[in-house]
Amino acid sequence: MRITVLLLMHLALSACTDDAPSHVGGALPGEPDIRVRVIRSTDAVQIDADATLQLQPIGANRKFVSDQSLAIAMKAGVWTINNEALPDIGLAPIEVRLIDGGPGDVIRVNGRAYPGLVHLVSRSAGDAPPTRMDVINHIHLEAYLPGVLEREIYSDWHLATFHAQAIAARSYALNRILNAPPTRTFDVESTQASQAYAGATTNPRAIIGVLETTGLVLTHGDQVLPAYYSSTCGGAGLSPDGAFANDEYWPPLQPVAHPAYCRHSRYFEWGPIRRNLVSLGNRMTAWGRQRRHPIRNLRRITDIQISERNDLDRPERFTIVDDRGNAYDLSADEFRTAANSTKAGPLPKKDRLLSGFVELEIRGDQVVIAGRGFGHGIGLCQYGAQQMAEEGHSGRDILATYYPGALIERAY
């Protein structure tokens, strides 16, 4: 089976660069590691642990051992540890591990606890010497997942919801591991750009939900499904190609009609809200400039049309027209993120458009928006999954509803 072949290839590649047992607690046979970028672009970090820290520049013949908290910085292309410059190790990534820890011991980075290893990787800065680093947690996949469940769903939700969420999150993660570009230093972000990750957790349902589904993933054909999920579908889902306007096509991610299980979510219906057309236009041009999208040339908005809907009547594409008569095309999730952009980054949560599942009407210098759902709407609906669990459905029932036609198979 292809999954097994791909996993073995991945592990063989890992084995070339990682000759020591890498983690507290052993991996299952065939279980891969995942690389999670937990801090993006910082100039310094504070690292400590309850056990002895060992720092090893990868590929260099030096090790640093410490029982103390360490301040590590990247200054003008030189690593420093507690302000001591280490020019001889160059820009090699630094691997941080515990050498006398017990099971459950963690490495704390800026106070947040992570199981597994931590890699500090300098960020290239064109021709200039780097002054920043990324922090990447390397961890067995099963040890990573409780920290995802901790962040993605509420700790008092039903265990069946945790089962479904664990299998979806494992599938998404494994798909990303298997498809990571060779030059990338990480597989997933620790934010909702991939899936949220808390690091170490003691949340019992998160731990049990992962343990009781160990190794299980959603598949289609011979592939591990990138099992996207979002908070609240609002009663009708969307496919990845509909949400993101890419060519990602997976039959189990094509939405089908099902009861509006998420009807009790506070995000099921929202608005109407009003947006000034000038400020909305400014957000869309800011977003367009960040992505070199044609909408960076947008002038004053005169019209916004829903140009395509899917079979469930959920908007898939929007056309934005300006006072020069130029029309710009955005997918549903592009519309949502563009409407939430500013030059300085995303809007505060209270001002954000929660989804692209909206109806719009232009009134004078404003657009009135009424919406449904929260998130991109692909795959599992978290509030819907919780309602199904409350009604007595199992994790498997939930997954069959939101990923129709997918199989649940053991990857390791």
State the residues that interact with Zn ion by CB under 5 A: 233, 262, 381, 384
- State the nearest-atom distance from the C-beta of 236 to Zn ion, in Å: 8
Of 277 and 398, CB closest to Zn ion = 398
Residues 6+ apart with CB under 8 A from 41: 123, 132, 133, 134
* Complex with Zn ion: residue 132 or 263, whichever CB lies closer: 263
Of 335, 312, 333, nearest in space to 260 by CA: 312
- The smaller minimum CB distance to Zn ion, of residues 356 and 384, is found at 384
| Residue 89 or 381 having the CB closest to Zn ion | 381
- Using CA of residue 24, residue 28, residue 30, residue 31, what is the dihedral sign? negative
Token pair 């700790």 is found at 155
> In angstroms, what is the minimal distance from the CB of 149 to Zn ion?
19
Q: How far is CA 163 from the centre of its chain?
A: 19
User: Among residues 263 and 352, whose Cβ is nearest to Zn ion?
Assistant: 263
Measured distance CA(23)–CA(139) in Å, rounded:
7
Structure tokens that stand for 109 in this block:
């980075």
- Residue closer to Zn ion by CB (options 96, 233) is 233
Q: Could you tell me the smallest distance in angstroms from the CB atom of residue 314 to Zn ion?
A: 11
Query: At closest approach, how far in Å is the CB of 165 from Zn ion?
Result: 14
Q: Are strands 358-363 and 53-57 parallel, antiparallel or unpaired?
A: unpaired
Nearer to Zn ion, 115 or 384 (CB): 384
Q: Residue 123 in contact with residue 130, Cβ under 8 Å?
A: yes
Please, are residues 303 and 361 in contact by the beta-carbon 8 Å criterion?
no
Residue with tokens 């934010």: 191
What does the chain come to in residues? 412
**Strand spans (E) along 92-227:** 94-98, 107-109, 112-114, 117-122, 133-140, 188-189, 216-220, 223-224
Nearer to Zn ion, 147 or 373 (CB): 373
Least distance CB 263 / Zn ion (angstroms)? 8
Residues 6+ apart with CB under 8 A from 181: none
CA distances from 131 to 70, 84, 110, 237 (A): 18, 15, 18, 43
Nearest residue (CB) to Zn ion, 73 versus 168: 168
> Taking the complex as a whole, how short is the minimal distance between the CB of residue 133 and Zn ion, in angstroms?
39
Beta-carbon contacts of residue 295 (< 8 Å; ≥ 6 apart): 284, 285, 287, 288, 320, 328, 330, 338
Give the nearest distance from C-beta 398 to Zn ion in angstroms: 11
**Shortest spacing between CB 229 and Zn ion, in angstroms:** 10
Max CA pair span of the chain: 68
How would you write 85-100 as a 3-class SS string? ECHHHCCCCEEEEECC
Q: How far is the CB of 261 from Zn ion (least distance, A)?
A: 6
Q: Which is nearer to Zn ion, 57 or 375 (CB)?
A: 375
Kindly state the smallest distance separating residue 394's Cβ from Zn ion, in Å.
Answer: 18
How far apart are the C-alpha atoms of 20 and 3, rounded to whole Å? 25
